[in-house]
């Protein structure tokens, strides 16, 4: 729906920083692209966290297996 304009308020990023999007400012295609980029970065960060959690779970399972043999 290109060309549609919406009024938005303050948008918070994951770092707690507020993007400068005033209520009087029109939400444009460029604004949407910036937010989509932030979402993509967050998704990459989330994927890395999931992989790290999986690695920790595997290590814990191995430790528990070793302790179970003692």
pTM of the prediction? 0.56
Residue 61 lies in a domain: yes
Q: 26: pLDDT confidence band, cut at 50, 70 and 90?
A: confident
Residue 8 lies in a domain: no
The domain in which residue 46 lies consists of 29-69
Q: What is the pLDDT of residues 27-67, one digit of tens each?
A: 788 999 999 999 999 999 999 999 999 999 999 999 999 99
Residue 2 lies in a domain: no
Structurally, the chain folds into a number of domains equal to 1
Residue 51 lies in a domain: yes
Strand partners, 18: 12
Residue 50 lies in a domain: yes
Residue 14 lies in a domain: no
Q: 23: pLDDT confidence band, cut at 50, 70 and 90?
A: low
Residue 3 lies in a domain: no
Strand ranges (DSSP E) for 1-70?
A: 6-7, 11-12, 18-19, 26-27
């Amino acid at each position: 729906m290109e060309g549609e304009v919406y009024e938005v308020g303050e948008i918070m990023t994951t770092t707690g920083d507020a993007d400068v999007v005033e209520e009087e400012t029109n939400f444009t295609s460029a604004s949407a692209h910036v937010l989509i980029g932030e979402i993509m970065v967050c998704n990459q960060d989330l994927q890395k966290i999931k992989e790290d959690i999986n690695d920790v779970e595997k290590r814990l399972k191995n430790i528990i297996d070793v302790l179970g043999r003692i």
